[in-house]
Amino acid sequence: MHPSADRPRERLSRLGPRALLDAELLELLIGAGSRGASAQQLAGHLLREAGQLAGLTGWERADFARIRGLGPAKAAELAASFELARRLREQVADPGERLDSPAKVWARLEPLTVGLAVEKCWVLSLNRRNRLLGLQEVSSGTATSSLLHPREVFRLALKHAAPAAIVAHNHPSGDPAPSHADRAVTRQLTEAGRILGVELLDHVIIGRPEADGAGKGWFSFGEAGLI
């Protein structure tokens, strides 16, 4: 338990929301907690399960409801809060941006990869003119079929009624050369897209120019003729 002066609500009143840690902001959203777990404990549990705060933006109501101590009503409130955050992020990111080359995809995503020690995967849902309808993180880990699963990738594209999509992930080493797993998951996604009617335009690996033998900082499966 927090000492009274250090409770998140009191700290927010004195210092403003930017002074609070991620766990403290989550604690305020959770409220009173439950008989078996305090709001502080639940906030910590959520962050551990998601890996980091950004991971919660991909959670649905059912994901929150699986956390012991969060009832159906609180799970719905949390899902709504993070859905609002996700929509705001998409709007601020200019969802009308045209992404018609791997260089533009790299420029759009490279700032999100700075300092990352793990691989993260994103889906970029596009309209027929290659304009961005939505950008969402799919997973954090290694870009294998278990994390870049067609069900999750194309669920997001279909959510935006997108006729096309681009998948991207980063290589923390900075070298964007594709691995065998990268090649295998690209083939799987391409085939799944054909079946579902969502064209996979590209799979772009985000690296750094100084670690890339070609000096570009990215590898494009589409540019290499592998899609």
Model confidence over 100-155: pLDDT tens digits? 999 999 999 998 888 888 888 999 999 988 999 889 888 776 545 456 778 888 98
Q: Taking 50 as the threshold, does the pLDDT of residue 85 lie above it?
A: yes
**pLDDT at site 145:** 46
Confidence band, pLDDT 50/70/90 cuts, at residue 88: confident
Choose between 42 and 93: higher pLDDT. Answer: 42
**pLDDT at site 176:** 97
- Count Cβ neighbours within 10 Å for each residue of 85-119 and write b for 16 or more, e otherwise: ebeeebeeeebeeebeebebbbebbbebbeeeeeb
Model confidence over 189-214: pLDDT tens digits? 999 999 999 999 999 999 999 999 99
> Percent of the chain scored above 90 by pLDDT?
55
Q: Taking 60 as the threshold, does the pLDDT of residue 87 lie above it?
A: yes
Of residues 12, 36, 18, the one with CA closest to residue 2: 12
Q: Taking 60 as the threshold, does the pLDDT of residue 1 lie above it?
A: no
**pLDDT at site 220:** 98
What is the distance between the alpha carbons of residues 30 and 144, in angstroms, rounded to a whole number? 34
Show the domains of the chain with their CATH numbers: 4-92 (1.10.150), 102-220 (3.40.140.10)
Model confidence over 167-195: pLDDT tens digits? 999 999 999 999 998 999 999 999 999 99
Q: Which two tokens stand for residue 194?
A: 């054909």
What is the distance between the alpha carbons of residues 113 and 105, in angstroms, rounded to a whole number? 12
